[in-house]
Amino acid sequence: MKKFTCQHCSNVVYFENHTCVACKQWLGYEPISSRMLATNAQQNVPTFQLDGRNYHYCSNHQHHVCNWLIEANGADTFCEACKLNRTIPNLSVKDYLDEWKNIEMAKHRLIYALKRWRLPFYGNTTGSHNLEFNFLSEDEKLKENQSAMTGHANGLVTINLAEADAISREQARRELEEPYRTLIGHFRHEVGHYYWDRLIYENQNNLTAFRNLFGDDRADYGQALEQHYKKEHNYNWKGNYISKYASSHPWEDWAETWAHYLHIVDMVDTALNFGLLTNAETNITDAYYHPNFTDIFKAIVPLSIAVNSLNRSMGQPDVYPFVVPQNVLQKLEFVHAVLRNYNS
């Protein structure tokens, strides 16, 4: 994530800010230029300007869940991130609205990264599906026999609202013996399944290389998950997988590895933009398009030790609770190569 500043006063602001804490101006993120624009806070209906064009907020700004901008003269009412939503929660329930805000913060960060890689969101003539999102609660009446379980099916990513509740998420993390469970992690994992369809299954060379490295994706998926959730002992996963869940099936191995690759790139990119790492010491200018994954991985090792130590200083758990063995490193390099080839 790049470092953003207020267009009006140059104060450093967060990606999610709707106003500048220094000058109190309205803020909006313009995704094409990837800039944070500012406008007069006295305006009842904020309008923004950049290079002679007028912008206003996405319609979801009224719910305080989105600060992205769209062209004032365009046909869209929702921004690039929000128009991917198929189902949102019942907003008359206050808890659902609060949880949706947390979900949208994570999703917008995801879409920011996917746009940096210029990855597709929409289907093509070969039968690919659009990327869409359902945000559902367990007690809402579901349409079309939808499930509220977090997962992916044919381009549709479902996130259970319970994942936006820190207590519920921590309970699930402990029950499932996961060292890391976050909203952004869920999004990165589930879109990994979507991009497996788009980048692996639709490309015979990638599919062959995938099967050589991750295993045969044609193995019975339902049976594999059933065995995983029985919590049968798997003593060798730590030497071959990034997580225990990754060992359940090649599809999950890919999704977990993909998500981890996104974690690493975002951390390195953020550290570079905030001066915690430098080009001189890493040889990296843009983590999203750096050709050599070895440089990226070398940068993440001291960075992860530093951020973990900072968290421990505050009595918090490690931000990066992972050990990356050689077999996993090869899989991360494969993800890197797939993305590099796609954008070449």
pLDDT > 80? residue 141: no
Q: How far apart are CA 30 and CA 67, in angstroms?
A: 9
Q: How far apart are CA 207 and CA 220, in angstroms?
A: 17
Q: Are residues 73 and 84 in the same domain?
A: no
Phi and psi at 26, nearest 5°, equal -65, 145
Alpha-helical regions (H) of the chain:
94-116, 166-175, 183-195, 204-214, 221-229, 250-273, 279-282, 293-313, 326-342
Q: Quick one: pLDDT at residue 122?
A: 86
Q: Quick one: pLDDT at residue 160?
A: 86
Q: Quick one: pLDDT at residue 168?
A: 67
Say if 319 falls within a structural domain: yes
Lowest-pLDDT choice from 6-10, 51-55, 144-148: 144-148
Give the residue among 339, 274, 325 at the shortest CA–CA distance from 303.
274
Lowest-pLDDT choice from 92-106, 149-163, 255-269: 149-163
pLDDT digits (tens, 9 = 90+) for 253-306: 999 999 999 999 999 999 999 999 999 999 999 999 999 999 999 999 999 999
Q: Are residues 171 and 298 in the same domain?
A: no
Query: What is the number of domains present in the chain?
Result: 3
Give the residue among 156, 158, 180 at the shortest CA–CA distance from 169.
180
pLDDT digits (tens, 9 = 90+) for 124-140: 756 678 999 999 887 66
Instruction: Give the pTM.
Output: 0.91
Average pLDDT of the residues in 98-116: 95
Domain range holding 68?
4-77
Average pLDDT of the residues in 157-173: 74
Q: Are residues 185 and 233 in the same domain?
A: no
Say if 104 falls within a structural domain: yes
Q: How far apart are CA 250 and CA 106, in angstroms?
A: 26
Give the residue among 53, 55, 48 at the shortest CA–CA distance from 25.
48
> Which of residues 35, 57, 77 is at a domain's end?
77
Q: How far apart are CA 163 and CA 181, in angstroms?
A: 9
Q: Please, are residues 215 and 200 in contact by the beta-carbon 8 Å criterion?
A: no
Say if 197 falls within a structural domain: no
Structure token digits, residue 249? 């099936």
Average pLDDT of the residues in 74-81: 92
Average pLDDT of the residues in 192-202: 94
**Cβ neighbour number for residue 340 with a 10 Å cutoff:** 15
